[in-house]
Structure 1
């Protein structure tokens, strides 16, 4: 399977139905032609001889109806917004988390939902990593780090699929140790061996790795030993109002003790109140992020 599928749209060309080519002069005309078709079809650009993938007529109609979103994911303008991450003991900035944003204000949730629907999640994930690297070049100081999210399900073959990311880092002449690649949706990861391979590929190139949202599925000693993350981020559900919840504080204390014995840097995310800062600092957390320290914001070139 390709790391970054592309869906082309031919404004005019031939649609092949039951091995019979039918010419069309516009996407509206193509839509009309496919209205009653039940079989698999594909389109041909007679000028370049390019072809689309073989899909059901219904799937092609769905792609045409949503082509603005598909084109945005594939070729539209994106940028990274940067949210500060600080040292809890000193309050000094450690670095940022880079978060993908669309220039036309479509939410990240909508973007990734559409990308999953049309098989473009690898493409969007790849573009998000590239924008984060670009933001690091323009706006992050050399001694600071950048956390970059990735979905392990989009990286089918790490040795091949991550080459684009490494090439972007090389293009900007950035040191690999400035980046921390953070796996999201950790509670949904089924193939731990695959995630180990992804982590290993990043580490071999001199980068660090992090688990996000710990508390939902990766807080066991066995799992942390298998994955060996450099950083662990505690889910905000355990941070929110932890000063008023003894069970949350007990959980945070246990995680701090566990990660300290393993040499893992611990980060509290989603901090919004001074009382939460105090609890995490008292428990010995290393890093923190959240609206209390700053919201994600665009950077200036």
Structure 2
């Protein structure tokens, strides 16, 4: 589908042909013991995983699906009373013009009373042939409008140094493959340590995602990571905000 026809489809409200909902998983600042953001995650209407929903997304409805995800996430966030950042995932090839594709999101935020300054957009990059210049325009426009941007799964797939050389988001999320077992893995410790140093120089904050054990969290915290996401703290809550279990509250034994 061309950008112009995609624009018409979004404007005219062509139906997706399927329904979906969202779960929310927090990104936590364990130093300040507060939730920094909630990431909105696609789910089936029965709370089932994203795979069944994403299997229905194709080139003809990708733009409409992206817009519908933004509207759904903002609407639910307002209903749940989220008062920190709301992280909304997007694929760069689902955005043909950054400013235009934000209109429905901003209109929804105004309609439901969600503060637009709390919007954060998370880049899900899964294509080798990503147009870095196009993504750069998106990131620049979002920054111009005051929104945070994050790069998901850094260190895996195509989200690596070459992309970071061209695009500097506000945050990167270290892929869980780098996190798993880092407390006992000197190689992973070295990779993450140098990534942290690089991001400090670039003014980019780092989120460790997929943290599952106290030992992983302790090692990462000692290395200077402050923002975390993972089952150690809580699992996603379907259409609700799950309670966070802070590491200091856990009973060890």
TM-score of the pair, normalised by structure 1: 0.71
Q: Deviations over 1:139-195 (max 9, x none)?
A: 2442x1111100111112223233222222222233222111000125635200000
Q: Which runs of 5+ in 2 are unaligned?
A: 242-253
Q: Residue 279 of structure 1: which of 202, 219, 226 is its match?
A: 219
What residue is the counterpart of 1:158 in the other structure?
Answer: 98
What residue is the counterpart of 1:126 in the other structure?
Answer: 67
Instruction: Say if 1:243 and 1:300 are closer, same or farther in 2 by CA, change over 3 A.
Output: closer
Q: Residue 110 of structure 1: which of 52, 56, 64 is its match?
A: 52
Question: Does 2:145 match 1:205?
Answer: yes
Tell me the distance in 1 between the aligned counterparts of 2:170 and 2:46. Answer: 35
- Contact 1:232–1:267, Cα closer than 8 Å, also in 2: yes
What residue is the counterpart of 2:40 in the other structure?
Answer: 98
Q: CA deviation at 1:233?
A: 0.4
RMSD: 2.3
- Contact 2:211–2:230, Cα closer than 8 Å, also in 1: yes
- Contact 1:213–1:236, Cα closer than 8 Å, also in 2: yes
Instruction: Say if 1:3 and 1:160 are closer, same or farther in 2 by CA, change over 3 A.
Output: farther
Question: Does 2:221 match 1:255?
Answer: no
Instruction: Say if 1:199 and 1:175 are closer, same or farther in 2 by CA, change over 3 A.
Output: same
Instruction: Say if 1:76 and 1:104 are closer, same or farther in 2 by CA, change over 3 A.
Output: farther
Name the larger-Rg structure. 1
Tell me the distance in 2 between the aligned counterparts of 1:189 and 1:181. Answer: 21
Instruction: Say if 1:122 and 1:212 are closer, same or farther in 2 by CA, change over 3 A.
Output: same
Q: Deviations over 1:258-286 (max 9, x none)?
A: 11111111100001111110111011112
Instruction: Say if 1:4 and 1:121 are closer, same or farther in 2 by CA, change over 3 A.
Output: farther
Q: Deviations over 1:17-55 (max 9, x none)?
A: xxxxxxxxxxxxxxxxxxxxxxxxxxxxxxxxxxxxxxx
Q: Which runs of 5+ in 1 are unaligned?
A: 7-69
Q: Deviations over 1:63-110 (max 9, x none)?
A: xxxxxxx97xx1544322111111132332222111111214553223
Q: How many residues align?
A: 233
Question: Does 2:210 match 1:270?
Answer: yes
Tell me the distance in 1 between the aligned counterparts of 2:187 and 2:81. Answer: 37
TM-score of the pair, normalised by structure 2: 0.83
Tell me the distance in 2 between the aligned counterparts of 1:232 and 1:165. Answer: 23
Q: CA deviation at 1:248?
A: 0.6
Tell me the distance in 2 between the aligned counterparts of 1:212 and 1:83. Answer: 14
- Compare relative contact order (CA 8 Å, sep 6+) and give the higher one, 1 or 2: 2
What residue is the counterpart of 1:15 in the other structure?
Answer: none
- Contact 2:85–2:118, Cα closer than 8 Å, also in 1: yes
- Contact 1:5–1:119, Cα closer than 8 Å, also in 2: no
Q: Deviations over 1:207-253 (max 9, x none)?
A: 11010111124442x64353120011000000011112111110110
What residue is the counterpart of 2:248 in the other structure?
Answer: none
Q: Residue 6 of structure 2: which of 3, 8, 17 is its match?
A: 3
